[in-house]
Amino acid sequence: MLVRVNSEKRKLGYSGDVKGLLKLLKVQKETVVVAKNGKIVPETETVGGNDEVELIKVIFGG
Amino acid sequence: MKCYLCKQDAVVRIEYMQRELCQQHFFRMFEKRVMHTIRKFGMVKKGMRIGIAVSGGKDSTVMLHLLAQVCKPMRCKLVAILADEGIRGYRDRAIVKCKKECKKVGVPLKIYSFKKEYKVTVGEIGCRVNNSCSYCGVLRRHILNKAARELKLDVLAFGHNLDDAAQTVIMNITRNEPFRLARFGASGGISEDESFVPRIRPLIETPEKEIALYSILKGYESVMQDCPFASQAFRDRAREFLNGIEEEYPGSKKRVLESFWVIKRALEKEYAAKKGEKIGKCAKCGEPTSQKKECKACELAARARGIIKQRRKVKP
- CA-CA distance, B128 to B139, in Å (whole number)? 17
A57 contact residues in B (CB cutoff 8 A): 224
What domains appear along chain B, each with residue ranges and CATH number? 1-29 (no CATH), 41-314 (3.40.50.620)
B238 contact residues in A (CB cutoff 8 A): none
Q: Using alpha carbons, list the distances in angstroms from residue A23 to A48, A51, B4, B8, B220.
A: 15, 18, 25, 27, 29
For residue range B267-291, list pLDDT tens digits in order: 988 887 766 667 788 999 988 888 8
Cross-chain Cβ contact A40/B213 below 8 Å: yes
Beta-sheet strands, E only, within chain B: 12-14, 19-21, 49-54, 77-84, 109-113, 155-157, 187-188, 199-200, 280-281, 288-289
- The residue in chain B having the minimum alpha-carbon distance to the alpha carbon of residue A47 is B1
pTM above 0.90, yes or no: yes
- The residue in chain A having the minimum alpha-carbon distance to the alpha carbon of residue B228 is A62
- CA-CA distance, B300 to B118, in Å (whole number)? 10
Give the residue-averaged pLDDT of B61-68.
Answer: 98
Cross-chain Cβ contact B224/A61 below 8 Å: no
Q: Check residue B206 and give its pLDDT.
A: 98
Q: Which of A33, A42, A61 sits opposite B216 (nearest CB)?
A: A33
Local confidence band at B116 (pLDDT 50, 70, 90 cut-offs): very high
For residue range B207-220, list pLDDT tens digits in order: 999 999 999 999 99
Strand order in the sheet with B187-188: B109-113, B77-84, B49-54, B155-157, B199-200, B187-188
Q: Which of A31, A43, A60 sits opposite B225 (nearest CB)?
A: A60
Cross-chain Cβ contact A44/B246 below 8 Å: no
**3-state SS of chain B: helix, strand, coil percent to 5?**
55, 10, 35
A21 contact residues in B (CB cutoff 8 A): none
- The residue in chain A having the minimum alpha-carbon distance to the alpha carbon of residue B250 is A30
Topology of the domain comprising A2-57: Ubiquitin-like (UB roll) (3.10.20)
Q: Check residue A50 and give its pLDDT.
A: 94
- CA-CA distance, B96 to B285, in Å (whole number)? 30
The answer to whether B217 and B171 have CB atoms below 8 angstroms apart is no
Give the residue-averaged pLDDT of B164-180.
Answer: 94
The answer to whether B34 and B26 have CB atoms below 8 angstroms apart is no
Q: Which of A6, A29, A30, A58 to mutate to test the interface with B (most CBs of B within 10 A)?
A: A30
The answer to whether B68 and B61 have CB atoms below 8 angstroms apart is no
The answer to whether B157 and B202 have CB atoms below 8 angstroms apart is yes
**What are the boundaries of each domain within chain A?**
2-57
Average pLDDT of every residue of chain B = 92
Local confidence band at B191 (pLDDT 50, 70, 90 cut-offs): low
Q: Check residue B270 and give its pLDDT.
A: 87
- CA-CA distance, B65 to B105, in Å (whole number)? 7
The answer to whether A47 and A15 have CB atoms below 8 angstroms apart is yes
Q: Check residue B232 and give its pLDDT.
A: 56
Cross-chain Cβ contact B12/A39 below 8 Å: no
Give the residue-averaged pLDDT of B91-109.
Answer: 96
Give the residue-averaged pLDDT of A22-43.
Answer: 95
Q: Check residue B268 and give its pLDDT.
A: 86
Q: Which of B58, B216, B231 sits opposite A61 (nearest CB)?
A: B231
The answer to whether B43 and B196 have CB atoms below 8 angstroms apart is no
**Distance of residue B201 Cα from the nearest chain A Cα, in angstroms:** 18
> Phi and psi of B137, rounded to 5°?
-65, -45
Local confidence band at B81 (pLDDT 50, 70, 90 cut-offs): very high
Cross-chain Cβ contact A39/B239 below 8 Å: no
Task: Say what the ipTM of the complex is.
Answer: 0.94
In 3-state terms, what secondary structure has residue B235?
helix
Amino acid letter for position B36: H
Q: Check residue A8 and give its pLDDT.
A: 87
- CA-CA distance, B314 to A8, in Å (whole number)? 41
- The residue in chain A having the minimum alpha-carbon distance to the alpha carbon of residue B57 is A60
Q: Which of A42, A56, A60 sits opposite B13 (nearest CB)?
A: A42
Cross-chain Cβ contact A57/B224 below 8 Å: yes
